[in-house]
Structure 1
Amino acid sequence: MSEVEANQGHGANTEADPDRAAHDTVEAAVRAQLNKALGGVRGMVEAAVPTIGFTGTYVATKDIKLAVGTGVGAAVLLLVIRIAQRSNPQFVLNSLVGIAVAAFFALRSGKAEDAFLPGILLNAGYAAAMLFSIVVRWPLVGFIIGTVTGDPTAWRRDPGIVRLCSRLTWLLMLPCAVRVAVQYPIYLADGDQSGLLGPAKIVMGWPLQVAALAAMVWLLARGRTPIERGGPA
């Protein structure tokens, strides 16, 4: 095949799937997909607001029902705004589900700190899954590349990409592991620990995620690994 024919073939793939063609390197694809997964700054803020509402209200009033109502109400308000703007409500819905589960745990036990247990368990599950993916050499971040190339497993044929994805998965896992390491001992401590768990959850939420993302961007900025796109020969 001549170079012209190859370029024409690549152009046809570009027209058929502009999102895939927009990224020519592994690093660019991972940066874009991670930003999409986190919902950008707005998505991360929307994830934090219900927790801030719940914690602030409970610390001020010691009323679990009022705190739950504030947290859920904040999530519902954010959802209404998204719907009114006709923008993607995915991240608000995630936040609403999260605060609803937290509310169920807190109301069932009557202990405000139990609202934070689902988040601790979820982070432990994420960390364990990512660690397992690294150990078996199927790092989770590799599948981000698969969504761009159209072949979910082709990236494993390149040891360099596997190593890069393993390092990125470590960085993605670190915030989850740190949250569990800090918050679970607080949760186990005697007495009402919601006054500590709330601020810990907020501080270790999107700020910690942004720090991890910045480290990933720094790592990605150092290389330009070309993407080999899947498709018929």
Structure 2
Amino acid sequence: MAGLAAEYAAKAGLHRTHDGRVDVLRSAGGVQGIAESIMPGLVFLVAFTITQDLPPSLVAALGTAAVFTVVRLIQRRPLTQALAGVVGVGISAWLANTTGKAEDFYLPGFFTNAAYIIAMVISILVKWPVAGLLFGFIRNEGLDWRKDPDRLKAYRLGTWIIVGVLALRLLVQVPLYLMGPDGLAALATTRLLMGAPLYILGVWVAWLVTRPAPAKDLTDGEPAPKA
């Protein structure tokens, strides 16, 4: 079960520490993974702020994402996250270049965010909450938590917390997007702050909320006999 838990958690993007806790930093991709998610958007913002020219700014963002892919090739590390980043930046760049609106660089992220919210809400409604599927394996609970109403309730709450984090992104960022060029700087800044940092906080809070109750003492609450 321990081996299965480690394999499942790794495939799901979550990792555990040596003492069985969730490693939130590594789950977010580590320092390099966080940089891969932040830097293309940051480079785009800086380049566009300086040049006020969309195509060079988009090329700079794409180039930054490509550099991270090359770095992973050199390190001989898995390319999944870096390639996903290149594809995501590519779609964002194509959309912004097509519409001619710099703020559209951030538009695909809204749809991705909304898709995650829908998937997690459905998992809660069908009583297969995502937090339980991930954390349950990290804790070596397997799927036994589904047989315990209290554990199921806890994991549904944990999933709602993650949904709340994702919904907060939309509540803050969509109005900034609708402001057009006037809201671009604020939109880009909040996208950086509410990306990996907020995700790490949400996962950590969900992990704490879903902690199993301490095991009952074998003496069933009676004081241990004195020596």
* TM bucket normalised to smaller: 0.7 to 0.9
The two structures have a TM-score, normalised by structure 2, of 0.77
The one-letter code of the counterpart of 2:69 is L
Q: Is 2:158–2:207's contact at 8 Å kept on the other side of the alignment?
A: no
Determine the structure 1 residue equivalent to 2:193. 203
The one-letter code of the counterpart of 2:97 is L
Provide, for residues 129-180 of structure 1, a one-character-per-residue CA deviation record: whole Å limited to 9, x for no partner.
2123223322112222565699975542222221221122122222211111
Does residue 1:178 correspond to 2:165, yes or no?
A: no
Gaps of 5+ in 1: 1-12, 21-25, 226-233
Provide, for residues 55-96 of structure 1, a one-character-per-residue CA deviation record: whole Å limited to 9, x for no partner.
111111111111111111011111111110111222222221
- Say if 1:223 and 1:38 are closer, same or farther in 2 by CA, change over 3 A: farther
Provide, for residues 19-62 of structure 1, a one-character-per-residue CA deviation record: whole Å limited to 9, x for no partner.
47xxxxx9976725x66542233212211111111111111111
- Say if 1:190 and 1:63 are closer, same or farther in 2 by CA, change over 3 A: closer
Q: Return the alpha-carbon distance in structure 1 between the equivalents of residues 5 and 176 of structure 2.
A: 48
Does residue 1:58 correspond to 2:53, yes or no?
A: no
Task: Give the CA deviation at 1:191.
Answer: 4.4
Q: Is 1:134–1:166's contact at 8 Å kept on the other side of the alignment?
A: yes
Provide, for residues 105-139 of structure 1, a one-character-per-residue CA deviation record: whole Å limited to 9, x for no partner.
10110101111111012112212221232233221
Provide, for residues 178-212 of structure 1, a one-character-per-residue CA deviation record: whole Å limited to 9, x for no partner.
11111111112254532221111111111211221
Alignment of 1:37-48 (within 5 A): 37-48=27-38
- Say if 1:158 and 1:18 are closer, same or farther in 2 by CA, change over 3 A: closer
Q: Return the alpha-carbon distance in structure 2 between the equivalents of residues 103 and 222 of structure 1.
A: 44
Q: Return the alpha-carbon distance in structure 2 between the equivalents of residues 133 and 166 of structure 1.
A: 9
The alignment of Structure 1 onto Structure 2 pairs a total of residues equal to 207
- Say if 1:224 and 1:19 are closer, same or farther in 2 by CA, change over 3 A: farther
Does residue 1:87 correspond to 2:77, yes or no?
A: yes
Q: Is 1:29–1:145's contact at 8 Å kept on the other side of the alignment?
A: no
Q: Is 2:62–2:89's contact at 8 Å kept on the other side of the alignment?
A: yes
Does residue 1:110 correspond to 2:100, yes or no?
A: yes
Identity of aligned residues (%): 29
Give secondary structure in 1 for the equivalent of 2:189: helix
The two structures have a TM-score, normalised by structure 1, of 0.75
- Say if 1:43 and 1:200 are closer, same or farther in 2 by CA, change over 3 A: same
Determine the structure 2 residue equivalent to 1:31. 22
Alignment of 1:147-166 (within 5 A): 153-166=143-156
Give secondary structure in 2 for the equivalent of 1:88: coil
Gaps of 5+ in 2: 8-15, 216-227
The one-letter code of the counterpart of 2:71 is I
Determine the structure 1 residue equivalent to 2:128. 138
Q: Return the alpha-carbon distance in structure 2 between the equivalents of residues 90 and 148 of structure 1.
A: 22
Determine the structure 2 residue equivalent to 1:228. none
- Say if 1:62 and 1:200 are closer, same or farther in 2 by CA, change over 3 A: same
The one-letter code of the counterpart of 1:31 is V
Determine the structure 2 residue equivalent to 1:219. 209
- Say if 1:136 and 1:30 are closer, same or farther in 2 by CA, change over 3 A: farther
